[in-house]
Amino acid sequence: MDDPTTGRAAPPAEIAPDTKDWTWTLERTCPDCGLAAGTIPASEISARVTACTDPWSSVLARSDARVRPEPSTWSPLEYACHVRDVCALFTDRLTLLRAGDGPTFENWDQDRTATEQRYAEQDPATVAGQLAAAAQGLSSAFAGVPDDAWSRSGTRSDGSPFTVLTLGRYGLHDLAHHLWDVGVDVP
């Protein structure tokens, strides 16, 4: 809706911060998106990153890509920006796991990032290209993991432990779940 005083689009309503600990998805099938992340073999992670990110170019081409289905739910554009940033973040975390013993991942406040980067105001076509590049980077990073590195471990800032394998599985759930959020069947 336009602001009658400025004629510009009104800023989107605040989204309630997501404070859930989603690590349970490593042990159980997600009842929403249906992904059983904990069962995905290491050899499939790279290809599944691609499968779970390729649909975004079509999503971002929708005429309603900027429209929130309800004020408290991200638009497809906002989800796409988040997915782009998740791909970059997980590439960085994978690099840390491969580079040293027992790294601790810095906290990432996804809600603050969405606000500071103004996800709702970004250009869908630009985001589509950025997301594709970030996804390719993540897919390539997982494709390059040697067999003996999948058990390397690190810790998230909240104390949750991850290995290269569980990081890949956890990231895949995030990618799949956000496809489901925008009405795309999870590959």
CATH number of the domain within which 47 lies: 1.20.120.450
Note the pLDDT of residue 111.
87
Bridge partners (DSSP) listed for residue 154: 162
Q: What is the CA radius of gyration of the chain?
A: 17
Residue 137 to residue 141: CA distance in whole angstroms: 6
Residue 184 to residue 187: CA distance in whole angstroms: 9
Is 10 inside any structural domain?
Answer: no
Residue the block writes with tokens 């429209």: 67
Residue 45, both tokens: 């992670």
* Entry field: residues in the chain: 187
Q: 163: helix, coil or strand?
A: strand
Is 156 inside any structural domain?
Answer: yes
Residue 8: exposure state from Cβ atoms within 10 A (0-12, 13-18, ≥19): exposed
| pLDDT tens figures, 42-77 | 999 999 999 999 999 999 999 999 999 998 899 999
Is 124 inside any structural domain?
Answer: yes
Q: How many CB atoms lie within 10 A of CB 33?
A: 21
Q: How many domains does the chain contain in total?
A: 1
Is 14 inside any structural domain?
Answer: no
Is 170 inside any structural domain?
Answer: yes
Note the pLDDT of residue 72.
86
Print the domain residue range for 52. 38-181
Residue 77, both tokens: 């554009």
Is 109 inside any structural domain?
Answer: yes
Residue 8 to residue 115: CA distance in whole angstroms: 18
Residue 18 to residue 114: CA distance in whole angstroms: 12
* Inter-CA distances, 118 with 42, 61, 77, 115, 123, Å: 34, 19, 11, 5, 11
> Which of the residues in the chain have pLDDT under 70?
1-20
Note the pLDDT of residue 13.
60
Is 154 inside any structural domain?
Answer: yes
